[in-house]
Homo-oligomer: A and B are copies of this chain.
Amino acid sequence: MRLTRNQRKANLPRGDMPGPLTLAQIVSRLGGRVVGEAATLIRQVGTLERAGSDQISFLANPRYRAKLEATQAAAVVLAPGAEAFTGRPRIVCDNPYAYFARVSQLLNPAPIPAPGVDPAATVASRARVPASARVEAGATLEDDVELGERVWIGAGCHLGRGTRIGEDSRLFPSVVIYHGCRIGARAVIHSGAVIGADGFGIAPEAGRWIKIPQIGGVVIGDDVEVGANTTIDRGAIEDTVIEDGVKLDNQIQIGHNVHIGAHTAIAACAGIAGSAAIGKHCAIGGGALIAGHMSIADHVTVSAATVVTHPLRAAGTYTGFFPMDNHASWARNAVLVRHLAELSDRIRELEKHIQGKKDNA
C-alpha cells in the first residue's frame, strides 16, 4: 500500500465543517490582535511545515523560528515577542498554544449527536434516556441508568445498573461502566476504557486469597477525558474519585480508592496503585508508577517512567529512571550499580588511610 500524507480532507469526515473564518472573525471571538491582512480566510489548522494557503499554524516555542520563517501557512498565531519573526498575517496573543487550540475548536467543532436510540441497542425499562441523547447499536443500558441531555453512547458500550452520565458527555464505542458509577458533564471517554471494575482486594489466608467485595463506586467530575483502554477501579469500601478537569491518556491503570485532584493530567501507561492521593494541577509522565497509599501534593510533576515510593509533599519535579546507554556501556556500569556499597566502603577506606597519614604527619 502506498502511504500518502494529508488525506485528511478526504477520509476524515467530521460532520458539518463550519465555513471559513477571517482572522478578524477569529479575534472577534477569541481575542488577540491581528497583524497584517485581517481578511485572510482560514479553513483549517496546520503545522508550520505543511500548512497551505488556507491554513493557520502557530509558534509556541522560539526554537522553531526557522520553521516559522519557511512556512507557507496563510497565517500564524504567536506571542508578542515573536511578532517580528514573520511578515505573514498573524494573530498576536499571550498563550499561542492555547489560542491555537481554541481556533482549532472553532474550525473543528465536536460533532453533535443525532438523537435517538438505535433499534439494535438494549435499554432496560427503568433506564432514563432523554430525547436529546443518542444510544448506538449494540449498547446495553441496565436499569436505573440515567443519561443527561445530549449524552452520546457509542456502539457496544455497556452501562451497568444505576450508572449516571452527565450532560454532553460522549462515550466512544466499547466503553464499559460498571454498576453505580457516576460521571460528570462533558466527559469524553474513549473506546475500551473500563470504569468501575473491582479493585484488586484480596486477603491472604493459609496460602490462598480471599476476595474482598469491592462495594465502593467511581465518581468522576465534570470535563474529564479518559483515554482508550484506561481502567479505573471502583473503591473497596468508599469511592474512587476523579475530580473536575482531569485528563487521562490511554492505558492508564487507576486502582481502588485513588483520589485525583482537579486539572491533573496523566500520560499514557501510568499506573496509580490503590489509595494513592494525587493533588490538583499535577502532571504525571508516561509509564510512571505511583505506589499504593502515596500522597502527592498539588502542582507536582512526576517524570515519565518514575516510580514514586515516598510521599511527595512539595511542588516540584521528581524523576527516577535508569539512563539509557549503548548496551555494552550499560552492561559495564549496571554491574557496578550492584556493588555501589562496596565502592563506597573502598572510598571510605582510602579517606581513612589518608586521614591517618595526615594525623601522623
Residues of chain B within 8 A (CB-CB) of A338 are 323, 325, 329, 333
Identify which of B140, B229, B244, B247 contacts A192 (C-beta below 8 A): B229
A122: Cβ under 8 A from any B Cβ: yes
**Secondary structure dominating the interface of A:** loop
Per the bound structure, the CA–CA distance linking A212 and B216 in Å amounts to 34
Per the bound structure, the CA–CA distance linking A326 and B160 in Å amounts to 43
Pairwise interchain contact B191-A238, C-beta atoms closer than 8 A: no
A127: Cβ under 8 A from any B Cβ: no
Taking CB as reference atom, which chain B residue is nearest A55?
Answer: B237
Residues of chain B within 8 A (CB-CB) of A350 are 347, 350-351, 354
Question: In chain A between 254 and 280, which residues have their CB closer than 8 angstroms to a CB of chain B?
Answer: 255, 263, 265, 267-269, 271, 273
Question: In chain A between 268 and 321, which residues have their CB closer than 8 angstroms to a CB of chain B?
Answer: 268-269, 271, 273, 281, 286-287, 289, 291, 303-310, 316-321
Question: In chain A between 325 and 353, which residues have their CB closer than 8 angstroms to a CB of chain B?
Answer: 325-327, 329-341, 343-344, 346-347, 350-351, 353
Pairwise interchain contact A304-B325, C-beta atoms closer than 8 A: no
Would you give the 0/1 interface string for A157-169, flagging 1 where the beta carbon is closer than 8 Å to chain B?
Answer: 0101110101000
Pairwise interchain contact A174-B174, C-beta atoms closer than 8 A: yes
Number of copies: 3
Pairwise interchain contact B263-A208, C-beta atoms closer than 8 A: yes
Per the bound structure, the CA–CA distance linking A118 and B78 in Å amounts to 53
Per the bound structure, the CA–CA distance linking A329 and B335 in Å amounts to 13
Pairwise interchain contact A205-B7, C-beta atoms closer than 8 A: no
A84: Cβ under 8 A from any B Cβ: no
Q: How far is the CB of A55 from chain B (nearest CB, A)?
A: 9
Q: How far is the CB of A335 from chain B (nearest CB, A)?
A: 7
Pairwise interchain contact A323-B337, C-beta atoms closer than 8 A: yes
A66: Cβ under 8 A from any B Cβ: no
Identify which of B97, B173, B269, B336 contacts A341 (C-beta below 8 A): B336
Q: How far is the CB of A282 from chain B (nearest CB, A)?
A: 12
A70: Cβ under 8 A from any B Cβ: no
Known: A13-B162, A136-B140. A98 touches B210 (CB 8 A): yes
A179: Cβ under 8 A from any B Cβ: yes
Residues of chain B within 8 A (CB-CB) of A204 are 97-98
Which candidate, A21-29, A34-42, A219-227, is the interface stretch facing chain B?
Answer: A219-227
Identify which of B100, B182, B321 contacts A11 (C-beta below 8 A): B182
Per the bound structure, the CA–CA distance linking A305 and B290 in Å amounts to 10
A71: Cβ under 8 A from any B Cβ: no
Q: How far is the CB of A107 from chain B (nearest CB, A)?
A: 8
Pairwise interchain contact B203-A98, C-beta atoms closer than 8 A: yes
Residues of chain B within 8 A (CB-CB) of A327 are 303, 316-319
Pairwise interchain contact B243-A101, C-beta atoms closer than 8 A: no
Pairwise interchain contact A231-B231, C-beta atoms closer than 8 A: no
Per the bound structure, the CA–CA distance linking A326 and B203 in Å amounts to 25
Provide 27 A-B residue pairs closer than 8 Å at the C-beta atoms, listed in order of the A residue. A11-B181, A12-B179, A12-B215, A13-B144, A13-B180, A101-B203, A105-B211, A110-B213, A138-B138, A172-B178, A174-B194, A191-B194, A197-B227, A198-B225, A207-B263, A207-B281, A208-B263, A209-B245, A267-B273, A287-B289, A304-B309, A305-B307, A319-B326, A319-B331, A320-B325, A323-B337, A354-B354
Nearest 8 A/B pairs, CB to CB: A320-B324, A12-B180, A98-B205, A1-B184, A108-B213, A122-B137, A158-B173, A176-B191
